[in-house]
Structure 1
Amino acid sequence: MNDVFGRRRRAEEETARSVPERELAAPARESGPWDADEGHPESERVDLGGLLLPVGPGFEVQLTVSGDSIVGAVVLVEESALQVQAFAAPKRSGIWDEVRAELAREVAALGGSTEEREGPFGTELAARVPAEGQEPQPVRYIGVDGPRWLLRAALSGRAALDADAAATLEGVVRDIVVVRGDEPMAPREPIELRLPSEARHAMEQEPSPEELRPFERGPEISEIR
């Protein structure tokens, strides 16, 4: 009888030890933005290297350049804009809380205002940012902490205030794939992007401006500095 109880106790102890291991396993993501190493639904996306960016009819895509590096992308749809950037983050902790607080301080230093709100991706920052010669402009700052990366997005224009206009661009954020890579990167270091292969090929051929449209039914690609 003692042997039976002993076996049962050992089995319970082994079960108890195995539970924390299961709890530490990263849960499967139910929606994006996605990590490149995760399973994610197939979709039409522009390959920008560090980001796979969903595209749709009527989209125009501009690339944000810092020095000689491409560090972000802007999606323009009708009267709305979505700016997205990806940054490296520590392996065991997210950085959106810290980045959000810094954004709030930066906007305040410019004379603007911010308010934290709950949105479809968690806590976001609703801001009114001063613009030269204009009334303060509404901007929604969104952040998503992923595996060793932060995706930061900013909705402006009509999408910053109108839920219907925002839905299209929120869908873009939800379907982005972040390609972090395995190389060591300092926290907050931008994950560099690159021109799509079609655009690179077009530029190498030095075509006329009319030919610098690598996607027949997709977005126009241009650079902004």
Structure 2
Amino acid sequence: MTDMTDETATDATDATEVALRDAAEELPIDDAKSAPADRAASGPFDLTEVPGMRPYVDLGGIKIAPREGLQMRLEVDERAKRVVAVTLEYSESLLQLQAFSAPKTTGLWHGVRREIAQQLAAQNAQAREEDGEFGPELVTMTPLPAEQGGGVRVARFIGVDGPRWLLRGVVMGRATEDAQVRARVNELFREVVVVRGDQPMPPSELLPLTMPTGVPQTGGPAEA
């Protein structure tokens, strides 16, 4: 039995931010960039790599390509009063997205993936690495308490190092167990555009997200 909930998305956001902070404080074990060979042509894209005429939902550090049936909501850190992630709902699945600043010549995903596994292990979650469309991925299985029906909560962490950025996605729901649905969700990830900007930023800093009209905060989806 698998579970797809808002709590999963929140846990994933927290785990990634802690992992990035911890990874930045340690010497990197593997700082090579992790990305598919066709990334520049097939995505995820840097802003400089996309045609200017294509329509996108502009969320600041991330742009989302709209499509029929796609819904989105923004995850807000109420303490910091800032948007920390965008979650897409599509094909009975969730894809949570965050983008972070990164060095120009080295990557973050290898170190971050290791740190996420350690953070989730502390929560009694199991984690294993798999090779996927975007390179190394992390599949996690978190036991659910009896009051939530038992079973496990499955999530698939994916990441791509781009030009001075890392795009991290967390896949939940049907796409974690159905290969055809996963392929459709991977297409969503491919279509994302990251807007790094020219301003200096330390590595691992969350790229600012903005709240456009019509996109709700956590709690209620809206059509993209």
RMSD: 1.9
Cα distance in 1 for partners of 2:55, 2:169 equals 20
SS in 2 for 1:187: coil
* 1:51 and 2:62 aligned: yes
Q: Residue 172 of structure 2 aligns with which residue?
A: 156
Cα distance in 2 for partners of 1:44, 1:165 equals 24
* 1:29 and 2:45 aligned: no
* Pairing partner for 2:188 from 172, 183, 189: 172
Cα distance in 1 for partners of 2:44, 2:53 equals 13
Q: Residue 99 of structure 1 aligns with which residue?
A: 112
Q: Residue 223 of structure 1 aligns with which residue?
A: 217
Gaps of at least 5 residues in structure 1 are: 1-26, 200-213, 215-220
The structure with higher relative contact order (CA 8 Å, sep 6+) is 2
Cα distance in 2 for partners of 1:50, 1:109 equals 31
Give deviations 1:36-79, integer Å, cap 9, x for gaps.
12245864421111111122112210101122211210001242
> 77-86 vs 148-157, which deviates more?
77-86
Q: Residue 207 of structure 2 aligns with which residue?
A: 191
SS in 2 for 1:164: helix
Cα distance in 2 for partners of 1:40, 1:138 equals 36
Cα distance in 2 for partners of 1:146, 1:93 equals 10
* Pairing partner for 2:139 from 126, 144, 158: 126
Q: Residue 130 of structure 2 aligns with which residue?
A: 117
Percent sequence identity over aligned pairs? 40
Q: Residue 75 of structure 2 aligns with which residue?
A: 64
TM superposition shift of 1:189: 0.7
Instruction: Check conservation: 2:125, 2:143, Cα contact below 8 A.
Output: yes
Instruction: Check conservation: 2:39, 2:45, Cα contact below 8 A.
Output: no
Instruction: Check conservation: 1:34, 1:40, Cα contact below 8 A.
Output: no
TM superposition shift of 1:90: 1.1
TM superposition shift of 1:184: 1.1
Q: What is the TM-score with the length of structure 1 in the denominator?
A: 0.73
Gaps of at least 5 residues in structure 2 are: 1-37, 220-224
Cα distance in 2 for partners of 1:141, 1:41 equals 30
Give deviations 1:111-168, integer Å, cap 9, x for gaps.
0111111100011111112345332211110000001100000000111111111122
Q: State the structure with more CA Rg.
A: 1
> 64-73 vs 81-90, which deviates more?
64-73
SS in 1 for 2:48: coil
Cα distance in 1 for partners of 2:190, 2:122 equals 31
Q: What is the TM-score with the length of structure 2 in the denominator?
A: 0.74
Cα distance in 2 for partners of 1:62, 1:169 equals 16
Cα distance in 1 for partners of 2:45, 2:184 equals 17
TM superposition shift of 1:97: 0.3
One-letter amino acid of the structure 2 residue matched with residue 35 of structure 1: D
Q: Residue 25 of structure 2 aligns with which residue?
A: none
TM superposition shift of 1:28: 8.0
Cα distance in 2 for partners of 1:108, 1:42 equals 44
